[in-house]
């Protein structure tokens, strides 16, 4: 482990109910870097309805019914197994990266773009912010940390920007682009400079998209840490994305999920 003064200070922004982030990744940050604060987001009233309206505008009402069908299917057939995996993974991460989180300053917020969050970050003055949240951050927030605000995006950018990049790569049969992207936040949607892309040996038949999109991150924590330290030290350069296509994706569809799993089962194992 590097001496404490050779590590950057970090604030984590995450959803309060996401245990992988709020407990597992928080422990990793506290043990591997210098975690000086946590912004825990508690869902604000009406957020789900606003997100639904955005998705209807994106894909239309008929396709939105496909989105709703997948959510029902997921809740009935997949949610219990994923919850068990999350509990086991949180326990593994807490064991691998033991850290006291109760001493870390914490702010509960409904939205990361509030004056309260801005004041919290300005008071802590971190070197880095790690944003694991379903919000587009405003410049008044993402420009506060000295070395930038970074996203551990569950998808390979620029091909799979926005939500559920791993799901859509799997559904498209684009298995070489099932992974995560470490990028610095700018004013766009996952359009900032990219410093790392990584994956792992996933199982498209047995693993759900939720497990895969978490594992592309947690299986690469050491590489993520080393890259963040290099960025903080101004030693890392962005990866060139010249000539690569860019696409924005939305919520999973049941029809796409069934197509993915059917195709995955047909591949010899």
| pLDDT band at residue 33 under the 50/70/90 scheme | very high
Q: What percent of the chain has pLDDT over 90?
A: 92
Residue-wise pLDDT for 90-138, tens only, equals 999 999 999 999 999 999 999 999 999 999 999 999 999 999 999 999 9
The pLDDT of residue 123 is 98
Average pLDDT over residues 139-158: 98
Is the bond preceding 224 in cis, omega lying within 30 degrees of 0? no
Residue 50 has a pLDDT of 85
Angle between helices 254-265 and 61-73 (to 10 degrees): 60
The model's confidence at residue 51, banded by pLDDT at 50, 70 and 90, is confident
What is the average pLDDT across 188-216? 97
Strand partners, 131: 13, 151
Third-level CATH fold of 8-265: Rossmann fold (3.40.50)
What is the predicted pLDDT for the residue at 45? 76
- pLDDT value at position 4? 60
Question: Given this model, what pLDDT does residue 2 score?
Answer: 57
Report the pLDDT value the prediction gives residue 131, as an integer from 0 to 100: 98
pLDDT tens string 215-259: 999 999 999 999 999 999 999 999 999 999 999 999 999 999 999
Q: Does pLDDT of 1 surpass 60?
A: no
Residue written as token pair 């245990």: 19
The interaxial angle of helices 61-73 and 47-59, nearest 10 deg, is 130
* High-pLDDT (> 70) share of the chain, %: 99
pTM of the predicted structure, to 2 decimals: 0.95
For the cut 70, the answer to whether the pLDDT of residue 3 exceeds it is no
How do beta strands 34-41 and 180-184 pair? unpaired
Q: CB-based contacts of 204: which residues, under 8 Å, 6+ apart?
A: 170, 175, 178, 212, 260, 261, 264, 267
| Distance of alpha carbon 191 from alpha carbon 91, whole angstroms | 33
Between 43 and 239, residue with greater pLDDT: 239
Q: Across the chain, what does the average pLDDT equal?
A: 96
DSSP string, the chain: ---GGGS-EEEEEEETT-HIIIIIIHHHHHHHSEEEEEEEE-PPTTHHHHHHHHHHHHH-HHHHHHHHHHHHHIIIIIHHHHHHHHHHHHHHHHHHS----TTS-EEEES-TTSHHHHHHHHHH--SEEEEESSSPPPHHHHT-STT-EEEEESS-TTTTEES-HHHHHHHTT-GGG-SEEEEE--SSSS-S-EEEEE-----TTTS-HHHHHHHHHHTTHHHHHHHHHHHHTT---PPP-TT----EE-S--HHHHHHHHHHHHTS--
Could you tell me the two tokens for 31?
A: 């043990």
Task: Encode pLDDT of 158-197 as tens digits.
Answer: 999 998 999 999 999 999 999 999 999 999 999 999 999 9
């Amino acid at each position: 482990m590097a001496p404490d003064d050779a590590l950057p200070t970090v604030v984590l922004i995450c959803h309060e109910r996401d245990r992988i982030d709020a407990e597992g990744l928080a422990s990793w940050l506290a043990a591997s870097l210098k975690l000086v604060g946590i912004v825990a987001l508690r869902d604000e009233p009406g957020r789900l309805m606003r997100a639904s309206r955005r998705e209807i505008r994106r894909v239309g009402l008929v396709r939105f019914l496909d989105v709703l069908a997948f959510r029902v299917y997921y809740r009935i057939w997949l949610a219990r197994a994923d919850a068990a995996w999350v509990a086991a993974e949180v326990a593994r991460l807490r064991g691998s990266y033991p850290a006291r989180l109760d001493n870390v300053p914490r702010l509960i917020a409904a939205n990361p773009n509030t004056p309260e969050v801005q004041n919290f970050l300005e008071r802590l003055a971190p070197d880095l912010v790690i944003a694991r949240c379903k919000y587009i951050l405003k410049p008044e927030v993402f420009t506060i940390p000295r070395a930038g605000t970074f996203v551990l995006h569950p998808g390979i950018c620029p091909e799979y920007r926005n939500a559920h990049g791993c799901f859509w790569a799997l559904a498209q049969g684009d298995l070489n682009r099932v992974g995560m992207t470490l990028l610095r936040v700018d004013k766009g949607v996952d359009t900032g400079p990219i410093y790392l892309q990584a994956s792992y040996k996933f199982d498209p038949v047995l693993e759900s998209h939720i497990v895969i999109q978490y594992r592309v991150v947690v299986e690469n924590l050491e590489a993520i840490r080393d890259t963040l330290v290099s960025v903080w030290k101004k030693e890392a350069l962005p990866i060139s994305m010249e000539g690569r296509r860019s696409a924005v994706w939305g919520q999973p569809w049941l029809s796409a999920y069934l197509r993915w799993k059917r195709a995955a089962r047909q591949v010899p194992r």
